[in-house]
Amino acid sequence: MNQAAIIELDASRKGSEKVIEEIVRLEKRIFPKHESLARTFHEELRRKNSGLLYAIVEDGEGKVKGEAEIIGYVMYSWVTSLCASITKLAVKENYRRQGHGEALLKATIEKCKKRNIHRVSLHVDPERTVAVSLYQKNGFQVDATIKGYYSSDRDAYRMYLDFDP
């Protein structure tokens, strides 16, 4: 299993545009067009209340392997001072089931806790059982089923995780 470094995107840093473009390409490959944020990705990142973490492969000694390959990302925002929302969490297909999605999720949860957020919520297709299991394993609970969330024939679970105040 490859180790991954989780990095917080700083859009003002040199090279960040290349990272964003790579993530947009991933977004287009992973999500159907009507679910993709590829066209609005830059807008989402410009908001002061949003964050993006991404994972790159590193060797067992904590060094980046060759050109930094982005293997996954999570986009989140804090809707209010007490509530955050995970907008996207994705991992490249050949890196799935290796703990990278969970590492990204846990890093996001820690970022939210540091901001004194009390609840993190998200939406997920109930048929994406691996994703639902990941969220439940990390303490998320199903709050409701939202009919027609993704399309007329695709629902979503609204899930949440509360932190002790």
Residue 130's H or E segment, with its range, is: helix 129-137
User: Which comes out higher in pLDDT, residue 17 or 74?
Assistant: 74
pLDDT at residue 11, rounded to an integer: 72
pLDDT at residue 83, rounded to an integer: 93
Most distant CA pair in the chain, distance: 48
pLDDT at residue 26, rounded to an integer: 86
Tokens 């048929």 locate to 127
pLDDT tens digit sequence for 117-157 = 999 999 999 999 999 999 999 999 999 999 999 888 999 99
pLDDT at residue 88, rounded to an integer: 92
Q: Does residue 158 have a pLDDT over 80?
A: yes
CB-based contacts of 147: which residues, under 8 Å, 6+ apart? 155
pTM for this one?
0.86
Domains of the chain by start residue, with CATH = 3-162 (3.40.630.30)
Average pLDDT, the chain: 86
Beta carbons of 54 and 73 less than 8 angstroms apart:
yes
pLDDT at residue 137, rounded to an integer: 96
Strand pairing of 119-124 and 83-91? parallel
Q: Does residue 110 have a pLDDT over 80?
A: yes
Within 10 angstroms of residue 11's Cβ, the number of other Cβ atoms is 12
Average the pLDDT over 87-108 and give the result. Answer: 94
User: Which comes out higher in pLDDT, residue 98 or 63?
Assistant: 98
Spell out where 11-124 has E strands.
50-58, 70-78, 83-91, 119-124
Residue 105 in 3-state DSSP? helix
CA 23, 26, 29: angle at the middle one, nearest 5? 155
Residue 152 vs residues 60, 94, 110, 128: alpha-carbon distances, Å: 46, 30, 35, 17
